[in-house]
Amino acid sequence: MQNSSNFLFFLPKMVRLLILATVSLFLASCGSNNRDDLDQFISNAAQDMSVKIEPLPEVKPYVSFEYNADGALNNPFKSRKAQSTGGGGIQPNLGRPKEPLEAFPLESLKYVGLLSKEKLQYALIKTPDNNVQQIKIGNYLGQNFGMVADITENEVVVKEIIQDDLSGDWVERTSRINLQE
């Protein structure tokens, strides 16, 4: 028996041409029908489409708002000037020379000891830079015009003069520095 691949080789030339012509005709006729159907589908598809786009919303004009147009509010980005209500009460002495402990906030100072000498008491105050200084009643310390009012074994009493945020008047406040052990 011979191979099937060699089968076409031995067929007469006329039969081979006939088979080739039939297959070509069949393929050509199938291709033309599909192309017509495809062209028809594309042309019909574009006609069936409808555009449904909503119109853009109307753009409203921008209306600017001016903060504090009537001047009734304070500007939060500027420091307020102190406005005294009169009264002429307590005032800090701004003309006196500053003492060394007035360079530090009161909260950063520590009371570390007490010295007594001839009925005078001296408090030992430790600064944030680890220096120890002695003070007595009447000395100033802290950044709010604080004056030492009393020194005991357990605490140093300081009277500060601060400015009230609302009225602008100077008011007195008592603070205490407790002994650090």
DSSP 3: -
Q: Among 15, 30, 48, which residue terminates a domain? A: 48
Amino acid at 119: K
pLDDT for 104: 92
Question: For the chain, what is the largest distance between any 2 Cα atoms, rounded to a whole number of angstroms?
Answer: 146
Tell whether 107 and 170 lie within a shared domain.
yes
- Count Cα neighbours of 66 within 13 Å in the Cβ-side half-sphere: 5
Does any domain span residue 32?
A: yes
Number of domains in the chain: 2
Does any domain span residue 55?
A: no
pLDDT for 126: 93
Does any domain span residue 23?
A: yes
Does any domain span residue 76?
A: no
- 49-to-25, 35, 53, 55, 173 alpha-carbon distances in Å: 37, 22, 12, 18, 83
pLDDT for 156: 93
pLDDT for 10: 61
Does any domain span residue 28?
A: yes
- Count Cα neighbours of 28 within 13 Å in the Cβ-side half-sphere: 6
Does any domain span residue 89?
A: no
Does any domain span residue 94?
A: no
Does any domain span residue 84?
A: no
Tell whether 44 and 107 lie within a shared domain.
no
Print pLDDT tens along the chain (181 aa): 455 555 556 667 777 788 888 888 877 766 555 567 778 888 787 776 777 888 999 999 998 888 777 777 777 777 665 554 555 578 888 888 999 999 999 899 999 999 988 888 999 999 999 999 999 999 999 988 999 999 999 999 999 998 887 777 888 989 999 988 7
pTM above 0.75, yes or no: no
Tell whether 173 and 111 lie within a shared domain.
yes
Q: Kindly state the tokens that stand for 176.
A: 């205490």
CATH number, position 165 = 2.30.30.830
pLDDT for 125: 92
The domain in which residue 168 lies consists of 100-178
Q: What are 130-135's contacts with CB under 8 Å, separation 24+?
A: 133/100, 133/101, 135/101
Distance CA 130, CA 136 (A): 19
Asked if residue 112 lies in contact with residue 132, where contact means CB atoms within 8 angstroms, the answer is: yes
